[in-house]
Structure 1
Amino acid sequence: MRPIARTLVIALALAGPLAALGVAAAQNLDVIAERQAVMKQNGRSAKAANALIKGETPYDAAAALQILQTLNADTKKFVTLFPEDSKTGGKTEASPAIWEKPAEWKAANDKMIADTQAAIDAKPADVAAFKAAFTTVAANCGGCHKQFRVD
Structure 2
Amino acid sequence: MRKLVLAISMLAFAGSVAFADPIQDRRALMKERGKLAGQLSKVVKGEEDFDAAAVLTTLKALQANAEKFDAEKLFPAGTDQGDTTAAPKIWEDMAGFKAAEDKFLANTKEAVASPPGDVDGLKAQLNTLGGDCGACHQSYRVKKG
Per the normalisation by structure 1, the TM-score is 0.75
Counterpart of 2:66, as a letter, is T
Moved over 3 A (4+): none
Counterpart of 2:35, as a letter, is R
1:88-127 matches, cutoff 5 A: 88-89=81-82, 91-127=83-119
SS in 2 for 1:86: coil
- Select between 55-64 and 137-146 the one with higher mean Cα deviation: 55-64
Distance 2:87 2:69 in 1: 14
Higher helix share: 1
Distance 2:90 2:65 in 1: 17
Query: How much does 1:66 deviate?
Result: 2.1
Query: How much does 1:72 deviate?
Result: 1.9
Q: Counterpart in 1 of 2:25?
A: 34
> How many residues were matched structurally?
123
Larger-gyration structure (1/2): 1
Distance 1:62 1:124 in 2: 10
1:17-28 matches, cutoff 5 A: none
Deviations 1:65-89 (A, max 9, x none): 1222222222222333111132212
Per the normalisation by structure 2, the TM-score is 0.78
Deviations 1:20-76 (A, max 9, x none): xxxxxxxx7711101111111111112111111111111111221122222222222
Q: Taking every aligned residue pair, what percent have the same amino acid on both sides?
A: 42
Q: Counterpart in 2 of 1:82?
A: 75
Does the 8 A contact of 1:72 with 1:112 survive in 2? no
Distance 1:128 1:45 in 2: 18
Q: Counterpart in 1 of 2:49?
A: 58
Gaps of 5+ in 2: 1-18
Distance 1:65 1:86 in 2: 34
SS in 1 for 2:65: helix
Query: How much does 1:143 deviate?
Result: 0.3
Gaps of 5+ in 1: 1-27
